[in-house]
Amino acid sequence: MKDLIEQVDANLQAHEEFGNSRQIIALNIERYKFALAVLAQNDAKLQALLPAVERLDEALANKILGDLLVRAELEAAIERLETDASAAQDTQRLVWCLERSLAIAGESKSMSAAAMERDFQVGPQIDGRRIWVWDLPDGSEPVADALREALRLGFMPGGHCEAQIIRPTPEMVAQLDRACTLLQALVPQVAHSVFSHLHSVAIAHMRNERGPMLTASGGDSTPCMIFIAPEELANPWDTAVHIMHEAVHLKLSDMVRTSAAVVDEAMVTLPWGREISVSNCLFAFHAYVHLQVFRTAVEQLGPQHYAVYGAPESYLANTRPHAMSVVNTAATTPFSRGHQRMIYLGEQFRTTWASYLTPAARRMVDWLCEAISPMVDMRIERLDNAQATADEAQTATAPAPTTRYAKNPKLHLRPLKEHGILFASAIEQPQIRKLNTAAWLMFELCDGRNERDLAQAYAQITGVAEDRAWQKVEPMLGHLVASGMIVPIDDAAAAREGRAA
């Protein structure tokens, strides 16, 4: 069983796109650098900071662009850019955060961590940093005031939630660190991965419309941060679950910043009595799969750690039941346990909910099912498999040429050849887009070719049969036109000449 646990622990980090945290974080950093370059087009102060940002190595870039305040300001600026490109950007706070962070880049703490009164850190050192614990003093100071404002505006926005931060005692910090160590001991690869996305922890009393909350993860105003209720710290087994659960959410949050997950944000009713969005269901499924390996490790490998941490049942009297608990497992009602919910959500995403997901999210669900399959049989055939097979068997030649396509001359671009990714943004539609290798190739082929020439060129380069290439080309062409990345040749000529097409 130890080998099986190690296998699944490794499986969950093995996928370059969905599992490899280093890759996910690296793409996010590139997204932020690209966004800064777009924002700096009309901002001399930001323009002046760009060379210093570009010179940062991977660890320093993650420390500075992962700082709570810098990242919160960046996300806010990106949202403003993408929702109202014509409005004047107020980048004063972003410039202030970046300047202060770059000025202390050589010091051990990030700007936000340095604002804490006591140096409380937990977990392992990853790329030169550990997880810092929120311990903000009461006095007014610019960084401290900005942190309080970020928390006031950003704690789970829209969720009717509130949080009252508690100054931690040394015992609480030791309990957090103990849980991090236990997590590392049982599932070392998952632990290392999720700690990479977690920069800070706050201990807080929290409530939402359903009552007290055990844990929460930060929104865009409190990124890379999780919250834990103080009464949840005494039991190291479930404290480890809480840290892992919320940090896994941070990992998926980082992933979907560069790759959309849903095409239809429908609300669905779950058999355990909740009505939530498809996105939230996807986050839950992603977390339940990761927690399954931890739960199995607790059952199979846990006893060898009882001498240090005590047996899970020794904490039962003071533990609240919840679906992910590895201590209070007495609930017997349907779907009261995490693995039951995991199986249900996996089935839904591979069948009736599949149409809500982007192709990338569908591939992620398939991969998650495969990664956990040595422990739980998740081989669920997708309903659309038969249709996909039928579609694949059909040929679809390119239509008679009607239009030639060219690149929009008004684009911001950031090619990442080592990742096979192109970040792009059209000036008229400044959403930040990530083109994968196939879409990037199609973009490059749009040099005046018509539909038939594009399909032939794509087939020659990729090896796809010519009579099936159009099936691949047509949707990519549609997305590139809709996003403003390419334009019909007449529109391109008009744009170059500076007149409306």
Instruction: Give first-to-last CA distance, the chain, whole Å.
Output: 65
- For residue 376, how many other CB atoms are within 10 A of its CB? 17
**Helix, strand, coil percentages for the chain (3-state, nearest 5):** 55, 15, 30
How far is the C-alpha of 269 from the C-alpha of 333, rounded, in Å? 17
Q: Which of 225, 197, 222, 39 is nearest to 146 (CA)?
A: 222
Prediction pTM value:
0.89
Q: Are 199 and 68 in contact (CB under 8 A)?
A: yes
Q: What is the pLDDT along the chain (501 residues), one digit of tens a residue?
A: 889 999 999 999 999 999 999 999 999 999 999 999 999 988 999 999 999 999 999 989 999 999 999 999 999 999 888 887 666 778 899 999 999 999 999 898 999 999 999 999 999 998 889 999 999 999 999 999 999 998 887 776 666 778 899 999 999 999 999 999 999 999 999 999 999 999 999 999 998 888 888 999 877 778 899 999 999 999 999 999 999 999 999 999 999 888 888 888 899 999 988 899 999 999 999 999 999 999 999 999 999 999 999 999 898 877 777 778 888 776 677 888 888 899 999 999 999 999 999 989 999 999 999 999 999 887 666 555 545 554 554 556 667 777 899 999 989 999 999 888 999 998 877 788 989 899 999 999 999 999 889 999 999 998 888 778 888 898 899 989 988 899 988 765 555 555 433
Q: Are 214 and 243 in contact (CB under 8 A)?
A: no
Measure the CA–CA gap between 419 and 258, rounded to whole angstroms.
13
* 272 Cβ contact list (under 8 Å, min separation 6): 323, 334, 335, 336, 341
Q: What distance in Å separates the CA atoms of residue 99 and residue 102, rounded to the nearest whole number? A: 5
Whole-number Å distance between alpha carbons of 335 and 12: 24
Tell me the CA distances in angstroms from 422 to 29, 252, 480, one per residue in order: 14, 21, 13
